[in-house]
Amino acid sequence: MELARFISAYYICSLGDAFSLMMAFIHSYPKHETESQKSESLPESKIELSSKQTKALEFLKEQKVGLLFGDTGSGKTEIYMKYFEQMMLEKKRSIFLMPEISLTPQMGLRLDEHFGESVVMWHSKLTPKQKKIALQKIHDGRAKIIAGPRSALFLPIKDLGLIVVDEEHDDSYKSSSRPRYNARDLAIYLGKLYNINVVLGSATPSLTSYVKFPHIRLKGGHFNSKKEFIYEKSVETLSPLILEYINRTLELKEQSIVFLPTRANFKYLICKDCGHTYECVFCSVGMSIHQNSRALKCHYCNYTQAIPQICCECQSPNLTSSRLGTAEAVKNIAQTFPSAVVEQFDRDVITTATKLKKALKRFNDKESDILVGTQMLSKGHDYHGVTLAVVLGMDNMLNMGDYRAREKALSSLIQVSGRSGRLKDAKVLVQSFNEEFFKAYIDRYEEFLEQEKEFREGLYPPYKRLCRVLFSDKNGAKAREAMQKMHDNLVDYAHVEIVGYGKCAVERVANKYRFEILLRSDKSTELIKAIKATKVILAEIDMDPIEFS
Ligand SMILES: [Zn+2]
Ligand SMILES: [Zn+2]
């Protein structure tokens, strides 16, 4: 009840919306409590922590909210598992949040092997029957560790002792439909409510967590292989250099992964010759192309300028906004190397957990040579034979109209390159005009975070709070009117700044016209107060937004 009340107050939605997160479980909830707790057997601990890991665990136990800032392969999972074991000894249960558990079969396997019957995997791909069994185990107390994506936070768990949020930087913790909560932030709230510890873990923590919570740093993986980074100044295409590297890898009978950033709804203008891109002078974020009005537009403040004909840096006329899709890249690579087996690895093709497992097995059994995919490639899979990672179009990520663009681009590169060279030395080929940026921080993420603090100060979270208000309707005039009305009401609130308002970057979705207002304030309480007093019927509130399309 208290959690629902908090969600309703903070994310500004009805109590009904907040309860809808929890209602889903009532239907399949078993009616009677069964006899239980017969076998309270604990697993014999096979987890041996190094002295560094032990120190990290001791540190985390002392914090209400602690950040485990550990490189890929530095042994974060063992630390969590040891902590879960200790909770079991105290007869407490743990929640283990992961971005999407069905996408990380390896983690599931590890938990299963170690904790067996004591672990419940909760995810969207469970069948109704599997769901029922999982709920039964939670209900009668056999489940000691409940692992799952953000929805696992709302399961009815007794004697909760610990919440671990793995990959805490991951965007999938934020819901993109009403109520637009962030599960990481709610985990922290829940920890406070129950007075239990919360552990946030990541190799590339968000600036917000890094600034707010004490951290312990675990460096270096247990892979001794070396990685060589090569940078190529070109826009998002399969350049001759990239094809040459893929060819060499094929000749050595080794494997490659090719990473493409997820296609955003924005299109950006970039100079093919010098890599120059266009930023809003007021917001320091990338501007996107608006075809209808032939203009570049900032979607934070609505600042607009005509699409330039020549690059303002090098005077080249070769300005482009073209981007490469995964399917297209697969086709091109397969045509160039007819004897190679190339697989597409993204949400369009890998639609089920089974398909994912099979694709990974084929790749690890060396039945396929090249995986081409988006962010899914970097989600904690272990490709032991990869000696070449190609990272395409990094500049597109770096220049997104998003205040977290740098954080997202750098962390993606670190996560992808962490997937290669596990057994043998590997090459990471990065397509970018911003070699200096990536080179400076690829092995020094904490230095990047320190630098990023300066950029965010006074403008963006965690120093300022943002809220996006969306208005959508089949009748565009109606949506615009609603926006205008709320805007006019908001003007009176001195502590809330209206950053910008107007059409959304994506003007129409599902036949509905979309408008928005972006608000900024020092305090979320000020935002909540102003919004509650000025809210109009069509307004949908997105507190702490991470999506700006
Ligand atoms: Zn140029
Ligand atoms: Zn702007």
Burial class (CB in 10 A: 0-12, 13-18, 19+), 56: buried
What does DSSP say about strands 370-373 and 255-259: parallel, antiparallel, or unpaired?
A: parallel
Q: Which conformational region is residue 490 in: left (phi greater than 0), alpha (psi within -120 to 50 degrees), or beta? A: alpha
Ligand nearest to the CA of 304: 2
Q: What is the mean pLDDT of residues 159-163?
A: 97
Ligand nearest to the CA of 316: 1
Angle of helix 524-534 relative to helix 2-10, nearest 10 degrees? Answer: 80
Look at residue 242 and tell me whether its pLDDT is greater than 90: yes
Look at residue 396 and tell me whether its pLDDT is greater than 90: no
Distance (angstroms) between ligand 1 centre and the Cα of 306 equals 17
Tell me the pLDDT band of 234, cut-offs 50, 70 and 90: confident
Q: What are phi and psi of 480, to 5 degrees?
A: -65, -40
3-state secondary structure at position 497: strand
DSSP 33: P
Ligand nearest to the CA of 299: 2
Neighbours of ion ligand 1 (CB under 5 A): 271, 273-274, 276, 311, 313-314, 316
Question: CB count, 10 Å around CB of 195?
Answer: 7
Q: What is the mean pLDDT of residues 233-253?
A: 93
Ligand nearest to the CA of 303: 2
Q: What is the mean pLDDT of residues 369-394?
A: 86
Cα–Cα distance measured from residue 105 to residue 90, given in angstroms and rounded to the nearest whole number: 28
Q: What is the mean pLDDT of residues 24-49?
A: 59
Cα–Cα distance measured from residue 60 to residue 65, given in angstroms and rounded to the nearest whole number: 8
Comparing C-alpha atoms, which of 166, 164, 182 is closest to residue 174?
182
Mean pLDDT of the chain: 90
Look at residue 338 and tell me whether its pLDDT is greater than 80: yes
List, in order, residues 6 or more apart from 396 with CB less than 8 Å away.
236, 261, 264, 268, 270, 323
| pLDDT computed for residue 199 by the predictor | 98
Q: What is the mean pLDDT of residues 263-282?
A: 83
Q: What is the mean pLDDT of residues 418-432?
A: 84
Comparing C-alpha atoms, which of 540, 524, 535 is closest to residue 487?
535
3-state secondary structure at position 417: helix
Q: Which conformational region is residue 459 in: left (phi greater than 0), alpha (psi within -120 to 50 degrees), or beta? A: alpha
Instruction: Please tell me whether the peptide bond between 462 and the residue prior to it is cis, using omega within 30 degrees of 0.
Output: yes
Distance (angstroms) between ligand 2 centre and the Cα of 287 equals 8
Q: What is the mean pLDDT of residues 474-480?
A: 96
Cα–Cα distance measured from residue 416 to residue 429, given in angstroms and rounded to the nearest whole number: 11
Look at residue 46 and tell me whether its pLDDT is greater than 60: yes
Ligand nearest to the CA of 279: 2
Inter-CA distances, 446 with 79, 211, 458, Å? 21, 11, 20
Look at residue 155 and tell me whether its pLDDT is greater than 80: yes
Question: What percent of the chain has a predicted confidence (pLDDT) above 90?
Answer: 64
| pLDDT computed for residue 438 by the predictor | 96
Inter-CA distances, 15 with 20, 173, 190, 534, Å? 8, 21, 17, 19
Distance (angstroms) between ligand 2 centre and the Cα of 519 equals 13
| pLDDT computed for residue 38 by the predictor | 47
List, in order, residues 6 or more apart from 140 with CB less than 8 Å away.
33, 34, 35, 36, 37
Question: What percent of the chain has a predicted confidence (pLDDT) above 70?
Answer: 93
Q: What is the mean pLDDT of residues 191-208?
A: 97
Distance (angstroms) between ligand 2 centre and the Cα of 4 equals 35
| pLDDT computed for residue 35 by the predictor | 45
Look at residue 529 and tell me whether its pLDDT is greater than 90: yes
* Cβ atoms of residues 531 and 524 within 8 Å: no
Tell me the pLDDT band of 418, cut-offs 50, 70 and 90: confident
Instruction: Please tell me whether the peptide bond between 179 and the residue prior to it is cis, using omega within 30 degrees of 0.
Output: yes
Look at residue 25 and tell me whether its pLDDT is greater than 70: no
Inter-CA distances, 375 with 381, 392, 394, 397, 492, Å? 11, 12, 12, 12, 42
**Higher per-residue confidence, 356 vs 524:** 524
Look at residue 29 and tell me whether its pLDDT is greater than 60: no
Look at residue 225 and tell me whether its pLDDT is greater than 80: no
Ligand nearest to the CA of 311: 1
**Higher per-residue confidence, 376 vs 469:** 469
Distance (angstroms) between ligand 2 centre and the Cα of 496 equals 17
Distance (angstroms) between ligand 2 centre and the Cα of 50 equals 49
Inter-CA distances, 301 with 167, 454, 542, Å? 31, 21, 17
Distance (angstroms) between ligand 1 centre and the Cα of 263 equals 23
Q: What is the mean pLDDT of residues 358-380?
A: 89
| pLDDT computed for residue 24 by the predictor | 54
Ligand nearest to the CA of 433: 1
Cα–Cα distance measured from residue 147 to residue 165, given in angstroms and rounded to the nearest whole number: 10
Tell me the pLDDT band of 320, cut-offs 50, 70 and 90: confident
Distance (angstroms) between ligand 1 centre and the Cα of 277 equals 8
* Cβ atoms of residues 235 and 319 within 8 Å: no
List, in order, residues 6 or more apart from 528 with CB less than 8 Å away.
9, 10, 12, 543
Question: Tens digits of per-residue pLDDT, 273-288?
Answer: 998 988 888 888 888 8
Token pair recorded at residue 109 = 């396997």
DSSP string, 347-382: TTT--SHHHHHHHHHHHHTTS--EEEESGGGGSS--
**How many Cα neighbours within 13 Å face the side chain of 389?**
30
Cα–Cα distance measured from residue 422 to residue 84, given in angstroms and rounded to the nearest whole number: 27
Cα–Cα distance measured from residue 248 to residue 76, given in angstroms and rounded to the nearest whole number: 35
Q: What are phi and psi of 14, to 5 degrees?
A: -75, 160
Q: In what order do the strands lie in the sheet with 497-509?
A: 497-509, 512-521, 465-473, 540-543
Inter-CA distances, 401 with 268, 278, 373, 408, 465, Å? 9, 10, 23, 12, 17
Distance (angstroms) between ligand 2 centre and the Cα of 523 equals 21
Q: What is the mean pLDDT of residues 421-442?
A: 90
Question: CB count, 10 Å around CB of 325?
Answer: 14
| pLDDT computed for residue 27 by the predictor | 52
| pLDDT computed for residue 549 by the predictor | 83
Q: Which conformational region is residue 91 in: left (phi greater than 0), alpha (psi within -120 to 50 degrees), or beta? A: left
DSSP 10: H
Look at residue 39 and tell me whether its pLDDT is greater than 70: no
Distance (angstroms) between ligand 2 centre and the Cα of 415 equals 30
